[in-house]
Structure 1
Amino acid sequence: MPRVTTVLRKSRKAIQDLDLLKVLHSEITHEHSSNPFQDKQSGSLGDFTLDWDSPKSQDVVLRKKSESGEEVAVSAMLGPEIYEGASSFPREALMKVCIKKPGLSSILQFDCGVSGKDNGSEFDIHSAHYLPSTSLDSSNYKGPSYSELDPNLQSELKRYLVSKGIEESFTNFLLLHLHRKEQGQYVNWLRKLEEMVARGDDD
């Protein structure tokens, strides 16, 4: 009787694995055939270079250094799904921009959100900080709430970032790259799961 029970259990597992393999294969095929990011314009990095883009991480880091020695670093990753308004992308990118002048240890830091629009992307500044030291001491006063700043100053700060290369072509590239990166990671995860089930591996 124990042997019959073992055979039945293995048969049930084989049927379940076969069903799961069919579902996994269908999902992988669907992801390839209905890629929503395939035909979108990729934009341009401009003067930035990709400094970090590990296939195992969700974030990317981009940097550029001008002839004057000024450094601009951008780190970004996808945020939660967007539930309000129309967007060509399902998720917003959370972008941090840090600007360092030559010979100074202080940093200007901007926390931004990048969202899709009909024919591209746009970014908004959520907060802006002056960090007097690269030690990033949390006790330092980082400035008032961004929403409390004068609207003219808010507009000028956004123009300032655009002048540093954070313009639409760059945010187009960033938003699309992050969505493609996430989709690629999802498909790779499905393939690994498919391989594991096909081998009959147990947890």
Structure 2
Amino acid sequence: MWRKTLITYANSVLLRCRSMATRPSPDVSAAVNSILLRSLKDHYMEVSKMTPPPKVNPPAPFTVVKGSLDSGGPVLKRSYKDEEVSVSVMRLANIIPEGGDDDDDDDDDSINQLFVHVNISKPGQADSLHFLCGLYPDALGIHSVSLRPKVENSEASTLEGLINKYNGPTFEALDERVRDSLHGYIQERGIDESLFPFLQAWQYVKDHRNLMQWFKTIGTFVHQGKEVTTQAQ
């Protein structure tokens, strides 16, 4: 849905701007800005009227990380014995751009395929255990497992340290018994398909907020540039 809105908006603005650019007038720049601002406002109002999904609570004992909608960090957290478990999420479409024409089925597929990052940390340990997983309505699959420096350990979190650190074999290369044991390990900590309904709804809301903010910030930038041009004249 969001991608369709952006493509429709971009095509309409491009056509209008090309039309204005062919007119020999000293006010072409101001006219293009006005068209862009009007289009941004129209699409902002259209997006603002979209009906949000029903509110879904995360499965206990997970809780929502405060401020997660406005950051790129973890969405959910919980304690498991002496461990801290955190979950971050993003849509598959945000990692692998879709190609070809858009349709409703493509939109449904992209939101039904989530990538989740699971971090499990222990007190006194410099590293945390990191799982990258594919999450679907009825299944969860592990893509990779590695040890990574904790976020607060700034020295160990340098880019050079991450590049030079051995992250282990690919998950498919592991013995089947090891793979099954790793699945059991994270399932014991509540990482399974039961997280999907909440994370799907949460991602819808975040996409909506991001798109609204995008229209607003681009419009503010163009409007300020319009004011500067007017004053200069």
| Distance of 1:63 and 1:104 partners within structure 2 | 18
| Distance of 1:126 and 1:89 partners within structure 2 | 19
**What's 1:80 paired with?**
95
Calculate percent identity across the aligned residue pairs.
24
Q: Report the Cα offset of residue 34 of structure 1.
A: 4.3
**What's 2:61 paired with?**
47
| Distance of 2:61 and 2:41 partners within structure 1 | 41
Q: Report the Cα offset of residue 192 of structure 1.
A: 3.0
Q: Report the Cα offset of residue 141 of structure 1.
A: 5.2
Given candidates 193, 201, 205, the residue that maps to 1:168 is 193
For structure 1, the 5+ residue unaligned runs are 1-7
Q: Report the Cα offset of residue 123 of structure 1.
A: 2.8
- Asked if the contact 1:51/1:63 (under 8 Å) is kept, the reply is no
Q: Secondary structure at the match of 1:60?
A: coil
| Distance of 1:201 and 1:123 partners within structure 2 | 52
- Asked if the contact 2:69/2:206 (under 8 Å) is kept, the reply is no
Given candidates 122, 129, 138, the residue that maps to 1:108 is 129
Q: Report the Cα offset of residue 147 of structure 1.
A: 0.4
Given candidates 70, 73, 96, the residue that maps to 2:83 is 70
- Higher relative helix content: 2
Pick which of 152-161 and 80-89 moved more. 80-89
1:129 corresponds to 2:142: no
Q: Report the Cα offset of residue 127 of structure 1.
A: 0.8
Task: In structure 2, give the amino acid aligned to 1:97.
Answer: V
| Distance of 2:82 and 2:106 partners within structure 1 | 40
Q: Report the Cα offset of residue 109 of structure 1.
A: 2.1
- Asked if the contact 1:111/1:127 (under 8 Å) is kept, the reply is yes
| Distance of 1:183 and 1:61 partners within structure 2 | 16
Task: In structure 2, give the amino acid aligned to 1:155.
Answer: D
1:25 corresponds to 2:45: no
| Distance of 2:120 and 2:107 partners within structure 1 | 29
C-alpha RMSD of matched pairs (Å): 3.7
For structure 2, the 5+ residue unaligned runs are 1-24, 100-104
Task: In structure 1, give the amino acid aligned to 2:141.
Answer: D
Q: Secondary structure at the match of 1:9?
A: coil
Q: Report the Cα offset of residue 89 of structure 1.
A: 5.2
- Asked if the contact 2:53/2:204 (under 8 Å) is kept, the reply is no
- Higher relative strand content: 1
Q: Residues 155, 52 of structure 1: CA spacing in aligned structure 2 closer, same or farther, 3 A cutoff? A: farther
Q: Report the Cα offset of residue 41 of structure 1.
A: 6.1
- Asked if the contact 2:89/2:116 (under 8 Å) is kept, the reply is yes
| Distance of 1:104 and 1:197 partners within structure 2 | 48
Pick which of 73-82 and 162-171 moved more. 73-82
| Distance of 2:132 and 2:196 partners within structure 1 | 14
1:96 corresponds to 2:117: yes
Q: Report the Cα offset of residue 153 of structure 1.
A: 3.5
Q: Residues 191, 81 of structure 1: CA spacing in aligned structure 2 closer, same or farther, 3 A cutoff? A: same
Task: Render the CA deviation track for 1:40-89: whole Å, top value 9, x for unaligned.
Answer: 5635153233155262x4443532223x3222122334432575996735
Task: Render the CA deviation track for 1:8-32: whole Å, top value 9, x for unaligned.
Answer: 534x344323322331122123323
Task: In structure 1, give the amino acid aligned to 2:195.
Answer: F
